[in-house]
Amino acid sequence: MEKKWIAGTPRLWRDIPVIIPFCPGCQHGTAVKALCEVIDELGMEKNSVLVVGIGCYTMASILVDVDSAMIAHGRACDIASAMKRIVGKDTMVITWQGDGDALAIGCEPTIHAAARSEKITTFMINNGNYGTTGGQLAPTTPLGQVTTTTPFGRNQDQGYPIQAAEFIGSLKGVAYTARGAFTSPANYQKTKKYMKKALEKQRDGVGYSFVEILSTCPANWHMSPLDSLKRVEEEVIPLFPLGEFKDVDKIE
Amino acid sequence: MTDRLLIQGNEAVGWGALNADCRGFFGYPITPQNEIIEWFAREFPKRGRAFLQSASETGSINMVHGGALTGVRVMTSTSSPGWALMQEGMSNLANAELPCVIVLVQRGWNTTRHAQTDYTSVTQGGGYGGYKTIVLAPKSAQELYDFVQLAFYLADKYRNPVVVLSDAILGQMMEAVELRNPDFGPLPDKDWAITGKANHKDGNRRFSSIGQGMLPTPKHPNLCAFWGDYKNKIDTIKKKEVRYETYLLDDAELVLVAFGYVARVSLEALLAARNKGLKVGLIRPITLWPFPSETIRDKAKKGATFLVVEDNMGQMIEDVGVAVQGQAEIHLVNALDRHLPIEEGAIYPEKVLEKIEALIK
Say whether the ipTM exceeds 0.85: yes
The DSSP bridge pattern shows strands B4-8 and B174-178 to be antiparallel
End-to-end CA distance of chain A: 55
Phi, psi of A186, rounded to the nearest 5 degrees: -65, -45
- With an 8 Å Cβ cutoff, is B27 touching chain A? no
Q: What is the 3-state secondary structure (H, E, C) of B75-87?
A: EEEECHHHHHHCH
Give contacts of A72 with chain B, Cβ < 8 Å.
Answer: 62, 65, 88-89, 92, 210
Domain span at B91: 4-178
The answer to whether residues B58 and B150 belong to one domain is yes
Residue A3's pLDDT is what? 58
Give the Cβ contact number of residue A44 at 10 Å.
20
Residue B175's pLDDT is what? 97
Residue of B nearest to A45 (CA): B197
Cβ contacts of residue A131 below 8 Å, gap of 6+?
A26, A55, A56, A98, A217, A219, A220
- pLDDT > 90 fraction of chain A, expressed in percent and rounded: 93
Which residues of chain B fall below pLDDT 50?
none
- With an 8 Å Cβ cutoff, is A68 touching chain B? yes
Encode pLDDT of A169-188 as tens digits: 999 999 999 999 999 999 99
Per-residue pLDDT, averaged over A149-158, amounts to 95
Encode pLDDT of A185-198 as tens digits: 999 999 999 999 99
pLDDT at A207 over 70: yes
Residue B2's pLDDT is what? 80
Residue B361's pLDDT is what? 76
Residues A174, A86 contacting (CB under 8 angstroms):
no
CATH of residue B319: 3.40.50.920
Residue ranges covered by each domain of chain A: 30-247
Note whether B65 contacts A75, CB cutoff 8 Å. Answer: yes
Residue B344's pLDDT is what? 87
The answer to whether residues B154 and B29 belong to one domain is yes
The answer to whether residues B80 and B165 belong to one domain is yes
By C-alpha distance, which of A234, A231, A170 is closest to A25? A231
* DSSP assignment string, B235-266: HHHHHH---EEEES-TT-SEEEE--THHHHHH
**Gap between the Cα atoms of A124 and A110, Å rounded:** 10
Residues A50, A61 contacting (CB under 8 angstroms):
yes
Decide: helix, strand or coil at residue A144: coil
Among B178, B213, B233, identify where a domain stops: B178
- Which of A17, A65, A81 is nearest residue B63 as measured by Cβ atoms? A81
The answer to whether residues B8 and B126 belong to one domain is yes
Q: Is position B275 within any domain?
A: yes
CATH of residue B93: 3.40.50.970
Residues composing chain B: 361
Residue A19's pLDDT is what? 80
Please, what CATH class does the domain formed by A30-247 belong to? alpha beta
Among B178, B200, B218, identify where a domain stops: B178
Residue B83's pLDDT is what? 97
pLDDT at A5 over 70: no
C-alpha separations of B185 from A219, B13, B284 in Å? 55, 21, 25
> Total domain count for chain B?
2
Cα dihedral B1, B5, B6, B7 sign: negative
Q: How far A184 CA sits from the closest chain B CA (Å)?
A: 32
pLDDT at A1 over 60: no
